[in-house]
Amino acid sequence: MMPTSTPPLRPTGDNPKRARLRAARLLAFSLLAVAGVLYVIAEYFRPGHPWLGFVAAFSEAAMVGALADWFAVVALFRHPFGLPLPHTAIISGNKRRIADSLGEFVQSRFLSTDKVLEGIRTLAPGRRIAKWISRPDNSARIQSYLGRTLARLLGSIDHQQARDFLTQAITSGLDTLDVSTLAAQVLRSLSQNRRHQWLLDEALEQLYGFLQHEDVRKELVQAIARQMEFVPSTLNLDERVGRAILQRLYDALQTILQAVREDHDHVLRRRFDEVVLGIVDKLMHDETFRERVQTIQTELRHNPEIGSALSAIWDELQRWLAEQLGDASAPLSRRLAGAVQELAKTFANSPRAHTWIDSQIASLAPPLIERYRRTLGLFISVQVKAWNDAFLVDQIELNIGRDLQFIRINGTLVGGLVGLIIYTATHFLA
C-alpha cells in the first residue's frame, strides 16, 4: 500500500549538525570580510607603499573566488538574493527528479540481486548471528521472547472450541482421524478475530531492533558508500551521504512499522492473513500436502475413553503450561533458558551451521528482492516527493552543507593565490 500523502514536514530544530554548519558559514564569510578589509587598506595606502599591490591583488582575487563559490553553493539550495535566476535553487526545482533518481538508485544499485548477494557474503550473517546469540544477555532475551511467544500462542487458542473438536474427532474413531483437517481447524481458530496478528507485530519489532545495532549500521553505510562512485571520497563525503541515505531508509522503515501498528487493515497484515489462510487451504485441499501429514499417523487405535482422556489432558496441560511460562523460576522456564544457552553455544561453534544459514539466505533472497525492490524504490520516491521544498533543502544542507562551505573557504584562498601569482608574473614581466 503506497502512501498518497503525508503531513507537511518542517525543518528540524537546533542540533549539532546545524551548529557545525553555522560555524562553517561564519568562517567562510569571515574570510571574505577579511579579504575585503585587506583590499580597502591595501588600495588606500598603495600609493606610498607599492608592495601593497601584491596584497591588493591577493585580496581582490580572494573576494572574486569567495563570491563565485558562494553563488555556486547558494544556487544549489535557493535563489541568491531571492532573485529567480536561471539554474538556481537546483535541489527544490528538481525535487521530483531527485526523488525518482533516489528510488531508482536504491532499486537498481543498492537492492540489485548481485549487490545484495555480495553484501550477504560480505556480512556473513551466519557467523554474526552466532556471535550475537552467544552473548549471555542476548540468550536471555531470546529465552524471554520464546516464553512470551508460547504464552501468547497458548492464550490465543479458543480452548473450548479446540477441546470440543478434539473430543468429537477422536471419539468418532482414531482409524479415520483426519489430522490435516484437525490442524486446519486449529489454525482457523487462531485466525478468528485476527488473534494471530501479534506474531507479525513482534516479528517486525524484532527486525527493527536488529537493524538498530551499531555494527549492522556500519556495514550498511559502507555497503552504500561502495556503490556511490559519483560521490567523491574526499572528507569522507561518500560515507556522509551513505549515512544520510541510510537514515532516510531507517525513517522509511519506521514509518512502515508505525503504519502497520496503527492500521489494522495494512497490506502487510492482509498478506500475513493470506499466508495463514493458504496453509489452512493446503491442509484442507492439497492432496500432496495432506499425504505428508498423514504419514505421522502410525499407531493410533480405537479407544472409547480417548475423548474424555484427551480433554482432561488438554485442560491440565494448558493450566500447567500457563503456570510454567508465567514464572521465570519455574522448571520449564529454566529448562527453556538452558536449552537456548546450549543451542547458542553449539551454534556458535559450528562453522557448517553458519555456512548453511548463509546459503539458505542467499537462496531465498533473489525472489524476494525481485518481488519487492521496485515497491521499495517507489515508496522512497513517493516519500521524498511528499516532503515540502524547505524540508528537503534543509535535510540535504544539514548533511553536506558544511562540506560545501569548505568549497567557499578553498575558493577564497585558492582565488587569492591565483590572483597573487598572476599579479606577480605580470609585474615582473612588465
Bigger pLDDT: 309 or 61?
A: 61
C-alpha span between 397 and 158 (Å, rounded): 56
Q: Helix (H) and strand (E) counts for the chain?
A: 18, 0
C-alpha span between 379 and 256 (Å, rounded): 10
Bigger pLDDT: 355 or 212?
A: 355
- Sign for the CA dihedral angle at 412, 418, 421, 426 comes to negative
237-272 pLDDT, tens digit each: 556 666 677 677 777 777 777 787 777 777 877 887
Residue type, 299: E
Is residue 425 pLDDT above 70, yes or no? yes
Percent of the chain having pLDDT more than 70? 77
Q: How many CB atoms lie within 10 A of CB 170?
A: 20
Residue 49 has a pLDDT of 86
Pair 396, 77: CB distance under 8 Å: yes
Is residue 285 pLDDT above 90, yes or no? no
C-alpha span between 208 and 252 (Å, rounded): 11
Residue whose C-alpha cell is 518481488: 371
Residue 208 has a pLDDT of 72
Residue 308 has a pLDDT of 63
Pair 338, 110: CB distance under 8 Å: no
Residue 320 has phi, psi (to 5 degrees) of: -65, -45
Residues contacting 349, CB < 8 A, separation 6+? none
Residue 40 has a pLDDT of 93
C-alpha span between 34 and 40 (Å, rounded): 10
C-alpha span between 357 and 120 (Å, rounded): 11
pLDDT category of residue 235 using cuts at 50, 70 and 90: very low
pTM, entire model: 0.40
Range 309-318 average pLDDT:
70
Q: At what angle do helices 179-191 and 287-294 cross, to 10 degrees?
A: 110
Is residue 167 pLDDT above 50, yes or no? yes
Residue 189 has which C-alpha cell?
Answer: 481458530
Bigger pLDDT: 20 or 176?
A: 20
Alpha carbon dihedral 120, 121, 122, 124, in 10-degree steps, equals 80
- Average pLDDT of the chain, as a whole number: 75
Percent of the chain having pLDDT more than 90? 6
C-alpha span between 155 and 217 (Å, rounded): 36
By mean pLDDT, which of 56-65, 219-228, 373-382 is the weakest? Answer: 219-228
pLDDT category of residue 212 using cuts at 50, 70 and 90: confident
